Structures are given as C-alpha cells and as structure tokens.
Structure 1
C-alpha cells in the first residue's frame, strides 16, 4: 500500500481574506485525517503574495489540536533563517502537545526573496548541513546526557519521543545529506525546475544511505502536484487557476489564485498556452482513476512508500473532492 499525505502550501486565493485561507487548513486537515492520509504538512514561504503560510509551526499546533491520529508537521522549516536550538525547543513543545504525531521537515531554501532572508536575520544557507546536525543533536538529548555532544545547553522540554525529522529538497544535494544522516527524505517533484532531478536524487539517496540513530533503512516520499476530478475535462477546468498562476509567476506579478471561470476566460497568446501545457508534464491532473494509476507507477518506479500531494484549487470543496477521489482510487482508507 502506498501511503498518501498532504502538503499545504497556503496559496492565496483572489477574493478571499488571508485569514480565511489560513483558517481553512484546520477543517481540511480534519478531512484528510478522515480519508486515511498519513501526514498533513505545512510549507513555509516569506514575502510572497502567492503563498502566505509564513509560520508553519504555529499551524502545526493548531491542526494537532483539532485532529487525533494524523501526523502533523512542516515541509519544511527553512533552517537557514533560524537558530537550531530555537527550532528544537519549538518542536519539543509540539511533541509534548501531540505525542508521537509531530514531523519536523527541514528545508534549505530561503523560501522568498534575498531581502526577506536578510530581514529574517540569518546569514543564509552556507551552514545548513551543520545546522541540521546541531538540531538533531538537541533533539536526541534524553535529559540524561545521552545523545548530545554539548552538556551546557539543552532544548527543553525533555520529552520521551523525538519529533520525526525529515530532509526535504529539490536536488541531489539534499538527498545526499539525508542519506549521510540516516534520515527519511522527501523530494519535491512538483516544480518544473527540479522535476528532471528526481531520478538522480532518488538514486543517490538509496545508494548512499547510512543507518543511524534516527533510521535504520531509507524511507522515501515524493511531493507531487495532483488534481483529480470525475472527468478529465472537469479536472482541466479546475487546473486553470494553477496554469494562470504559473504565468503570473513568469510575469513577476504574483497574487492570489483566480477562479477557474476567470482562468477559462483568459485569451492567452500561443506561447503562454504552450507554457501552461508544459506545466502538465510534471503535474498529475485528470480523471481520478488515471491520476491514481500514474501516481502509483511513479511511486513504484522510485520505490517510494509515500506520496505527499499538493493540490491547488480555488475552492476547498474541489480540493477535498480531489483528495477523496485519489484516496479511493488508490485504496487508501481511514
């Protein structure tokens, strides 16, 4: 059985208040739990009008409070902006609130502009690998001096379980780090710039994996864009806002997702229509059975035990329906 999880990128929606977008994560996570999804992850972005989830660790706490079984975590905390000790403290508090259900996904990306990275107060990505190791050191500390190299600094509270750390990346570099540290690894295959690196990253992860205190065997998941409907035609209609967003990104005119009706009314020139078509090369959009077959084939080809879906749809009902259709077609149930 291939497990399904969900990555919420908190996309802004035209005509909807940002606060409403953020609050929608709670009932949607509850719906994913009812469908049998394994995890619900939150992304981190900064200084962007299209992705407004700037504090995933806060949403993790809110979602954990209204769910009871699904794992909740980040995909990921952008460690280049934060001190490892502070992240360890935050996630130990989360683990105390929801024991055995917290994931700590870590990413190297700045998640926004260079100016935003400077405003966040850290020095960039050069120390990411070392910072991950320092963070893991804090997380492994059991309060008895075991697992931690430094004895003079501790991440409190001391909790009996360790939040489950993941390395998230869109390149072989992240795969190599996860393999060296013996961590589970999630590759982001939902973007045109990194989809072509999938096979290389996966091969490096499996070839270089070294068992360690946090994992004795490789565990791979893939983040993919997936949007299913009852027919291919309706799925393509619902995909319209995603295609429009991609063009807006190219135009450096970021903003909220438009409605599928508005996207369908756009008179795109041929080059832009071709650009939208190319986005479908690395997206899984269509009739539910076809999407499920393609996703299953991808997971089996990469030996991935889990797929982390991202679905951009203008309305929560369409997003929820898409996830329910895929789960049913792939035999996932609560």
Structure 2
C-alpha cells in the first residue's frame, strides 16, 4: 500500500504564518526520504489557520528540493480561475519536475463568499462550468490544441504521455465522484473533512458509474485521511487536542492558528464540547504506530485501495515529522510499507 501526504501549511500560535510554508518544504523533503509517494498541498484563502493560498508556487519550491516525489495540488479551486492559466502553470511545473506533477482540482471556494469575489470579481466561469473547465485542462495539459490555443511550455515530441500532469478530481460529495467517473479520471475523497461521512456512497458511485478514458483504463481512487501517530496512544491523544480545540472553535466561527496542546489541556473542554467531540474521537486515526497502521490498513482493505493520503496537524512540528516516520515504519514492518530506504 502506498502512502502519500496532504499538507495544508497550518499556522501555529507563537509562530509567523511564513514559517508554516517553510515547515511544508521541510516536511516534503522528509516525506521523500521516508518513501512517501505523493506530496499534495492545499489551497485556502483568507484564513488565519490554513495559510497555503498559492499551491502552484509552493509546488515549484518543493520541486526544487526533491527528486522522486510526485508533487500535486489538493487542490486548485478551479472556478476562481482561467483554465488556460492553470494549464500554463502546471505545464511550467512539469518542466521543472518532469513527469512528477499531479493537478488536483475542486469546485469549492476554499474561503468565504467575499474572498471568492476578490479572487474572481467577474464570477465567470462559475462552479456550473466546472466540467467544461476540466475538459479544457485535459486538452491543454496534455499538449493538445483547444479553442485554437496550445499551452506552453510543451514537452519534447514523443513524451506527451509521460509528461502530462495527472489530473485528479477532489471532492467530499457525490458530485465529484460522479464527475470523475464520467470523465474517466482519478478521484480523491476528503475523508478528513467529513470524518468519513458520505464515503461509502461516493466511492460506490465512482466505481459503479466508471467509464474508461484514453488515459485511465481502470478506476483509481484514494481517501485523504487525518491521522496522528506518537510512540504511545496517550501522547498521540494529547497532541490531537490542538486540532480538536480548533474544530470546536471553527464551528463557532472562531478561526485562528493552532494552539499548543498544553494550553488546550489546561483550559479543558465543557461537558457539551466533550459530547460533540465523542463521535469525532471515535472515528479518528490517533494512537500508537501499531494502532493507526492497523486502522489505515483496514480502511484501505474496506474500499479496495492501494493508496491512502495522510494529513497530519500538530502544533509541535517535530512531533508531526515523527508521526509520518512512525507510520511509515509501522507499515514497513507489516510488509506494506514504502519503497525507499527510510531515513530520519
């Protein structure tokens, strides 16, 4: 089973937002040394927590620091942009990291309505044009002429197939699953965003309605999950307090950087908050290496997946790096780990 990373450049209390981006770069090189397959970065706007607002820029920096790792967006919020401009950006990225680029796209705004209007004051194209935008992207990133135009830079003649960024449809609902299946494209379901809700329906629809395409003869799906591993389950649960507090605050409209777990523990949770956290904790992949590796292995088997994408939030950046290390090592002991020689 392959493991990949989804990184969101999460800001931390007491540290500058720019540091979150540098942490993403450091994590990418760490993930490559551990043998992770892909490293995806997200797009969000106007948020003081998730500060990765330009995935294509961050991808270029990661490309300059890695040699093997596939690098991707998870994703470009396509309705904000011209498909032609996105195609040109990803053709440039392929020129910098030949054959290593994934283009994950979504139709969500990645922010509030005011931010969406600031990103695209003319509101054209809108979310209803999402399928047509994907068709245009497929042509332009694949070196084909569309609307009378070619996207540059082009790959060397004869290398179009291996130098086409791999386009993924990202989603957390039936819509993305149906669209990916109808177009014959890979599909990634945001399990971490929905705590798994809707995954059964979306994955079933994707496989049941799949239509082969010129690029993909068979369906290719993955789940993006949130997981946190520490040497002991107690330590992992302690580290997870930061994200739990953020989730509760987010639901009340209070957004901010991730807080240290010690501060969250000292403050504690009310009885009502503990009730709200109970189902979240029951579905969480948080624990020691054997626990989390077993849970993820079972999840992959349940959906017949050969790859999972792991997202980890942690106020302590060294503990986050360690989490990815421990998870890779645990799966390697099961004979399901990563191909590269693992390093620290």
Fold equivalence (TM over 0.5): yes
Corresponding residue for 2:228?
227
- Answer with 202-211 or 90-99: which moved more: 202-211
> Any unmatched runs of 5+ in structure 1?
142-146
How far the C-alpha of 1:191 sits from its partner, in A, is 2.2
* In structure 1, C-alpha distance between the alignment counterparts of 2:254 and 2:171, rounded to whole Å: 26
Please give the secondary structure, in 2, of the residue aligned with 1:191: helix
User: Are 1:68 and 2:67 matched, yes or no?
Assistant: yes
Structure 2 residue matching 1:308: 3-state secondary structure: strand
Partner of 1:279: 280
CA offset at residue 6 of structure 1? 0.4
Instruction: Kindly state the Cα deviation for residue 25 of structure 1 after the two structures are TM-superposed.
Output: 1.0
Residue number in structure 2 paired with 1:217: 218
Is 1:199 equivalent to 2:200 in the alignment? yes
Question: How far, CA to CA, are the matches of 1:26 and 1:9 in structure 2?
Answer: 11
Q: How many residues align?
A: 326
**1:269-297 superposed Cα distances (whole Å, 9 cap, x missing partner):** 10112222222233211111011101011
State the Cα RMSD in Å: 1.2
TM-score using structure 1 length: 0.95
Mapped to 1, the partners of 2:167 and 2:113 lie a distance apart of 26
Map Cα deviations across residues 241-290 of structure 1 (whole Å, 9 max, x no partner). 01010111012110000001111111321011222222223321111101
SS in 2 for 1:41: strand
1:157 maps to 2:148: no
Contact 1:191 1:282 in 2 (8 A): no
Q: How does 1:126-137 map to 2 (within 5 A)?
A: 126-137=128-139
Structure 1 residues 149 and 91: alpha-carbon distance in aligned structure 2, compared to 1, 3 A threshold: closer
Per-residue CA deviations over 1:203-248 (Å, capped at 9, x if unaligned) read: 1111111111221111111100000111111110000101010111
Render the CA deviation track for 1:62-114: whole Å, top value 9, x for unaligned.
00100110101100000011100000000000001100111100111100001
User: Aligned-pair distance for 1:137?
Assistant: 1.6
- 1:299 alignment counterpart: 300
Displacement of 1:195 after TM fit? Answer: 2.2
In 2, the alpha carbon distance for the partners of 1:99 and 1:149 equals 22
1:149 Cα deviation after fit: 4.5
Stretches of 4+ moved more than 6 A in 1? none
Q: CA deviation at 1:173?
A: 0.8
CA distance in 1, matches of 2:292, 2:236: 10
In the alignment, is the contact (CA less than 8 A) between 1:229 and 1:235 conserved in 2?
yes
User: Match for residue 144 of structure 1?
Assistant: none
Counterpart residue number, 2:3? 4
Look up the match of 1:38. 37
- Structure 1 window deviating more from structure 2 (75-84 vs 202-211): it is 202-211
Partners of 1:219 and 1:281 lie apart in 2 by 28
2:268 — aligned with what? 267
Q: How does 1:131-150 map to 2 (within 5 A)?
A: 131-141=133-143, 147-150=144-147
Q: Is the 8 A contact 1:220 1:303 kept in 2?
A: no
Aligned equivalent of 1:188, options 155, 177, 190: 190
Structure 2: give runs of 5+ residues left out of the alignment: none
